Amino acid sequence: MHRPQNWRQWALIVLGATGAVLLLVLPLALIFARALSGGFGMFFDALAENDMRAAIALTVTVAVITVPVNVVFGVMMAWCVTRYDFHGRKILVTLIDIPYATSPVVAGLCYLVIYGLESAVGAWFNAHDMQLMFAWPGIVMVTIFVTSPFVARILIPLMQAQGTEEEHAALTLGANGWQIFRRVTLPNIKWGLLYGTVITNARAVGEFGAVSVVSGAIRGKTVTLPLLIEQLNDDYKTVGAFTAAALLACMALVTLVIKTFMEWRNREPGARHPVAPSPASPPVQNTTPGA
């Protein structure tokens, strides 16, 4: 990396930076400008509305259930495919990419077809006083589906690169499985795990397509923040829509800060992983563990 040396290199930088400003920075600035266009008073009034408070509560509930489930699953999945070599390992790694490639609307529909009132399963749950679709459990279920790959996709390359020598050393010293994970593996993957957690949270909070299929959009009951944005925007309540958008944008910015921090930690001298994996990096390569 060096300072640009001639006008051509500067031109490239200006061109790239202009594109980034137009596509990334301006939209971000617009969100906050619009949310605060009526001053802080209107911003807080919009926040205090009943629909908004219900949407925030529902969105937080969904994230609180979804994130731990997917973190536990992601860690187990990553451990399983990087610490053992068995037939079907590659298939398992490929299957975890499916939610990534599935359109969220299709995902929502799949759940609707299985757990909706018309189906046998849905009817059974309904007979036991549990409505899954067009209620909060359905929203949680599709959100778990959509956000399931993130933790695993971040951890798998990380744990593959680390190899298993340290775990094996701990094993020969008499540690049990939990001790190995807690004392050896976890400290090595903690930053990746933290980033996986916040990106899972970001996607869970922001999921739109799948949730809008199974939500039924009952005001004050099954409307999450992203759905509320659409409703308010359709009602021409721009300040309200942008207030909700500003909340979500803040969450996205915090996510980026944590990611940058993780990369910075990993680039410190002595760190073993120069490039921090991103969920937007290429899919996991199917190499043998420990290779």
Size of the site for another protein (CB under 8 A): 108
Please list every residue from 220 through 239 that binds another protein, using CB under 8 A.
225-227, 229-230, 233, 238
Contact 157, 284 (CB under 8 A): yes
Residue 74 CB contacts under 8 Å (≥ 6 apart), including other chains: 148, 150, 151, 152, 154, 155, 196, 200
The answer to the question of residue 145 lying near another protein (CB under 8 A) is: yes
The answer to the question of residue 218 lying near another protein (CB under 8 A) is: no
CA distances from residue 89 to 29, 75, 83, 191, 288 in whole angstroms, order as listed: 45, 15, 11, 25, 10
* Phi–psi pair at 170, nearest 5 degrees: -60, -40
- Give the long-range contacts of residues 108-113, CB within 8 A, separation 24 or more: 108/142, 108/209, 108/210, 108/211, 108/212, 108/213, 108/214, 109/213, 111/138, 111/141, 111/142, 111/145, 111/210, 111/213, 111/214, 112/138, 112/213, 112/214
Q: How far is the CB of 128 from another protein (least distance, A)?
A: 19
Q: Considering the complex, state which of residue 40 and residue 86 has its C-beta at the smaller distance from another protein.
A: 86
Q: How far is the CB of 240 from another protein (least distance, A)?
A: 11
The answer to the question of residue 123 lying near another protein (CB under 8 A) is: no
Q: How far is the CB of 50 from another protein (least distance, A)?
A: 20
Q: How far is the CB of 74 from another protein (least distance, A)?
A: 10
Contact 94, 153 (CB under 8 A): no
* Phi–psi pair at 228, nearest 5 degrees: -65, -40
Contact 141, 132 (CB under 8 A): yes
Q: Considering the complex, state which of residue 209 and residue 220 has its C-beta at the smaller distance from another protein.
A: 209
The answer to the question of residue 107 lying near another protein (CB under 8 A) is: yes
Site string (21-60) toward another protein, x via CB under 8 A: -xxxxxxx-xx--x--------------------------
Considering only CA atoms, give the Rg of the chain. 22
The secondary structure of 142-178 as a DSSP string is HHHHHHTHHHHHHHHHHHHHH-SHHHHHHHHTT--HH
Please list every residue from 148 through 177 that binds another protein, using CB under 8 A.
148, 164, 167-168, 171, 176-177
The answer to the question of residue 285 lying near another protein (CB under 8 A) is: yes
Q: Considering the complex, state which of residue 136 and residue 242 has its C-beta at the smaller distance from another protein.
A: 242
Q: How far is the CB of 33 from another protein (least distance, A)?
A: 9
Q: How far is the CB of 176 from another protein (least distance, A)?
A: 7
Q: How far is the CB of 8 from another protein (least distance, A)?
A: 9
What does the alpha-carbon distance between residue 280 and residue 58 come to, in Å, rounded to a whole number?
A: 28
Please list every residue from 252 through 271 that binds another protein, using CB under 8 A.
252-253, 255-257, 259-260
Site string (63-92) toward another protein, x via CB under 8 A: ---------xx--xx-xxx-xxxxx----x
Please list every residue from 185 through 204 that binds another protein, using CB under 8 A.
199, 202
Among 61, 137, 248, 265, binds another protein (CB under 8 A): 248
